[in-house]
């Protein structure tokens, strides 16, 4: 699933853009979640990682250009494509100073938005080949997202990623890792772990998640309802088979 953000203080413009994205997603048969923000502060305070961001240039008190500069200071947003939307085409020179992916003039026909979205799909890798950066002892590596089964924080505060082919220690915090992941595919059912829904086998005794490698992971009581709902939504959206994890079974105490 792709996750997009629309930030525009003009409610009608924001809704028109959201509708264009929704229509494109339906015609292309791709799952897309679009979050709409009415000001820059709300977007900057969001913990979600986005694959594509649409920014209105003339927002106040912080303009879209200023918002983009703040986003680019954050590692998770260094390479996220940003599309600027404005009624004033003269702004394009400023927009490209912060590495604009595209520039859309208002009022915009849906075909113009479709063109931008098609360009985006051509440039991004297939979702099953997408990667995230992880810090390990030897430096930074790129880990394929579809091969991640889960992350688990041990009693010694070490974060271990379990993939379909290996396990290794990462130096990132669980919160920083989760911010890079698609919340429609991953969840934090407990403060000590991140789970890929693709590799969940069952939930037993209300509070235990059984992974496809046989591992038991904890499910916090206050997160039980949300986790079950998100897992159900994910399973309904997927028809693919689930390959096994090649991790060593270790029961959670």
Whether 250 has a pLDDT exceeding 60, the answer reads: no
**Of 101-105, 113-117, 196-200, the least confident:** 101-105
Q: How far apart are alpha carbons 149 and 157 in whole angstroms?
A: 19
Of all residues in the chain, what percent carry a pLDDT higher than 90?
Answer: 53
SS3 151: strand
Whether 239 has a pLDDT exceeding 60, the answer reads: no
* Residue 62, token pair as written in the block: 């912080």
Q: Are 217 and 160 in contact (CB under 8 A)?
A: no
Q: How far apart are alpha carbons 170 and 143 in whole angstroms?
A: 11
Q: Which residues contact 97 (CB under 8 A, 6 or more apart)?
A: 65
CA distances from 212 to 44, 141, 217 (A): 36, 25, 11
Of all residues in the chain, what percent carry a pLDDT higher than 70?
Answer: 88
User: In the predicted model, what is the mean pLDDT of the chain?
Assistant: 85
Q: How far apart are alpha carbons 154 and 126 in whole angstroms?
A: 32
SS3 96: helix
Q: Tens of pLDDT along 137-188?
A: 888 999 989 899 999 998 788 999 999 989 999 999 999 999 889 888 999 9
pLDDT value at residue 47: 76
Q: Are 196 and 180 in contact (CB under 8 A)?
A: no
* Residue 42, token pair as written in the block: 């709300």
CB-count exposure of residue 204 (10 Å: 0-12, 13-18, 19+): exposed
**Of 118-132, 189-203, 220-234, the least confident:** 118-132
pLDDT value at residue 58: 85
Whether 251 has a pLDDT exceeding 80, the answer reads: no
Q: Are 32 and 119 in contact (CB under 8 A)?
A: no
Cβ atoms < 10 Å from Cβ of 138: 7
Q: How far apart are alpha carbons 153 and 65 in whole angstroms?
A: 38
Identify any residues that bridge with 135 across adjacent strands, giving them in sequence order: 140
pLDDT value at residue 86: 86
**Confidence category of residue 78, pLDDT binned at 50, 70, 90:** confident
């Amino acid at each position: 699933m792709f996750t997009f953000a629309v930030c525009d203080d003009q409610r009608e413009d924001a809704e028109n853009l959201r509708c264009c994205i929704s229509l494109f997603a339906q015609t292309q048969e791709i799952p897309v979640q679009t979050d709409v923000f009415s000001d820059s502060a709300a977007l900057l305070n969001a913990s979600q990682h986005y694959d594509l961001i649409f920014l209105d240039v003339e927002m106040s008190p912080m303009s879209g250009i200023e918002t983009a500069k703040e986003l680019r200071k954050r590692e998770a947003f260094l390479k996220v494509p940003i599309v600027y939307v404005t009624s004033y085409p003269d702004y394009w020179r400023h927009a490209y100073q912060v590495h604009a992916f595209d520039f859309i003039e208002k009022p915009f026909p849906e075909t113009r938005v479709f063109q931008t979205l098609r360009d985006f799909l051509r440039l991004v890798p297939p979702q099953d080949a997408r990667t995230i950066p992880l810090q390990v002892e030897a430096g930074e590596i790129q880990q394929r997202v579809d091969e991640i089964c889960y992350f688990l924080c041990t009693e010694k505060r070490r974060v271990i990623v379990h993939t379909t082919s290996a396990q290794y220690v990462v130096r990132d915090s669980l919160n920083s890792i989760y911010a890079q992941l698609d919340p429609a595919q991953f969840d934090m059912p407990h403060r000590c772990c991140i789970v890929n829904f693709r590799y969940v086998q069952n939930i037993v005794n209300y509070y235990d998640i059984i992974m496809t490698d046989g591992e038991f992971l904890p499910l916090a009581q206050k997160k039980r309802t949300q986790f079950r709902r998100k897992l159900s939504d994910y399973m309904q959206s997927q028809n693919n088979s689930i390959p096994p994890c090649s991790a060593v079974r270790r029961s959670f105490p």
